[in-house]
Structure 1
């Protein structure tokens, strides 16, 4: 699995992703460079963080990839919920935004779900 990371606290996001699954290839980039990576299937997913979790983290990608492929998994002021994130992943989303102050909690939940999906739940 390959994941592109952009937005705020990219290094923190990378560390959280790799702590959850060290077998993931992580590419630190920005939203504009991630667009062709996603469209050309050079990466499987994009994770972005900002103050709100849905604004600057994924707004450019919503316009370029489409709203149906993007979601905020954890907004500012809320705690991530595994059930909500599973639903989002099961809807086929490939772009995920989160509030930067919840990276340490939200990213591992997301990576666990994506990793289970990639391995068929094994």
Structure 2
């Protein structure tokens, strides 16, 4: 079971519509570039976590900010959606969503708290 399964049907519909809206606004190539960039940022954050770089490190905070801004394009900082994602990670600590398990999710959230 992935994070998508944790969303209510209404949340799934909202997210699907928002994804389509972003694709239409940006164009498919820019949309793909944005997704690739977001995945690269996540990879760098995971590397920082694995190397023991503290979440209050300026580079990690900057990466967390970029990820937050990218995520906001899609979820519009909807607290219900963000809460659902957090619940998924708490209830499935070893499951990965976009490469993040609970430990990495908490590391990134801690870095975001310094923004």
Normalised to the residue count of structure 2, the TM-score between the two structures is 0.33
- Say which structure, 1 or 2, has more relative contact order (CA 8 Å, 6+ apart): 2
Normalised to the residue count of structure 1, the TM-score between the two structures is 0.32
Q: Which has the larger radius of gyration?
A: 2
